[in-house]
Amino acid sequence: MTEKLYNNIKPAAHERLSNLAESLVGSEIVRLGADIKEKISNGEKIYNFTIGDFDSSIFPIPQKLEEEIIEAYREKLTTYPPADGILSLRKVVSKFIKEREELDYKTNEVLIAAGGRPLIYALYRAIVDKDDKVIYSVPSWNNNHYVHFTEGRHQVIETNAENNFMPSAESIKPHIQDAVLIALCSPLNPTGTVFKKEELEKICDMVLEENMRRSNDEKKLYVMYDQMYWTLTFGDTQHYNPVSLRPEMKDYTIFIDGISKAFAATGVRVGWALGPEHVLAKMKAINSHLGAWSPMAEQHATAKFLLQKNVVDGYLSHFKNELEERLELIYKGFQQLKKEGFSVDACAPQAAIYLTIQISLAGKKTSEGILLATQSDVTSYILNEAKLAVVPFYAFGAAKNSDWYRLSVGTCKKEEIPEMLGKLKIALNNLS
């Protein structure tokens, strides 16, 4: 599906650039965001739940982190950092992960960069050659684009609500034999759902068995495990990772992590990868040429902040409560609408800042007799009539006719939730 998307793109009628530049698909989320900004600039009130980011007036970074950043700039810590990150931060990350996840990583197995994106890019570049197979599920964030960057082969796993949109071992198994990378994310962007322990164990066992089968001359099969949201789990939800479940997976797992989502610090740009030293060394070399280092001052500040356990715990407790309250209010609102007979649904929130919602209105007509023929029509109708902006799953690689959406509460004001649900109900009532 994703290969067809890229292969069918024709270069524009102008001087040709690289094949990559000519064939790269722009972000659907950015495109949707442009429509929303235009409406807001025209004076419309939009309930904008599209952004996988935070409104800093609602969710500021921890005050102590802010103070440490300011102090680091006052101390003139503004030069180039080491390519793998300052040693003090790598030591603190190692300690932080050991205390909270019982994962044992030495400083040479920790790589610091300007958030998760350059780490993911460097990881793909370090492992994937042209025509190498990469397995990833949809919906998921940006794997289709990273495979395209590396000219790899897309092996797309379609997921569904029954599995909470997480890939199963059974769905991966037929494709594993000649793959070089499996891209996994838990808690998952865009769904806010997590792996069950038993399912992740099965995937790990398959990877270990496959790597035992391969000769020394063959590439090994690696797992990218993006756990950027792992601190943000709710209720009884538990976060699991490959290395804790199967210690042998340490040789084949590269974690993507950082402070971006855990501390509402997306603009601070401090991320880290954990993994085998030989893989991280290559990622470091790639990242050094890109210059995508985390800023020196922010690294020093993060190193000091993460050591303040009580401060970190206090922030996370409050932050998680605020996120969970918003997610639960909207979830219950959707369940009430469903109970009243409207064609909507939602998955119970498990983690992250996202709620997975379903809006099944294709085939219905508006009060003016206009047919909502496609899911794109539904998205536009909800935006125009309910003033509700959410991201369709097809923006994350799912099928164009998918009626599921990502709703993000990172910019959500609690007092606006009843308003939003009320306007949505009116818009639903106006369909037949």
113-131 confidence digits (pLDDT tens): 999 999 999 999 999 999 9
For residue 198, pLDDT beyond 60: yes
**Given this model, what pLDDT does residue 7 score?**
57
Task: Return the CATH fold of 63-308.
Answer: Aspartate Aminotransferase; domain 2 (3.40.640)
Say whether 388 sits in a helix, a strand or coil.
strand
Domain 2-58+314-429 superfamily per CATH: Aspartate Aminotransferase, domain 1 (3.90.1150.10)
Q: CATH 3.90.1150.10 spans which residues of the chain?
A: 2-58+314-429
**Given this model, what pLDDT does residue 35 score?**
81
For residue 389, pLDDT beyond 60: yes
**Model pLDDT for residues 343-387, shown as the tens digit of each residue:** 999 999 999 999 999 999 999 999 999 999 999 999 999 999 999
**Given this model, what pLDDT does residue 37 score?**
84
Pairing mode, if any, of strands 110-113 and 222-226?
Answer: unpaired
Residue 16's pLDDT band, with cuts at 50, 70 and 90, is confident
Cis-peptide, bond into residue 118, ω within 30° of zero:
no
In the chain, pLDDT over 70 holds for what percent of residues? 96
Residue 10's pLDDT band, with cuts at 50, 70 and 90, is low
Mean pLDDT confidence for 176-188: 97
For residue 3, pLDDT beyond 80: no
What is this structure's pTM?
0.94
**Model pLDDT for residues 18-47, shown as the tens digit of each residue:** 988 888 877 677 777 778 888 889 999 999
Q: CATH 3.40.640.10 spans which residues of the chain?
A: 63-308
For residue 273, pLDDT beyond 70: yes
**Given this model, what pLDDT does residue 36 score?**
87
Q: How far apart are CA 325 and CA 318, in angstroms?
A: 11
The angle subtended at Cα 205 by Cα 146 and Cα 142, nearest 5°, is 15
Say whether 134 sits in a helix, a strand or coil.
strand
When the pLDDT of each residue in the chain is averaged and rounded to a whole number, the result is 95
Q: How far apart are CA 122 and CA 126, in angstroms?
A: 6
Query: How many residues in total does the chain contain?
Result: 432
Burial of 348 (0-12, 13-18, 19+ CB in 10 A): middle
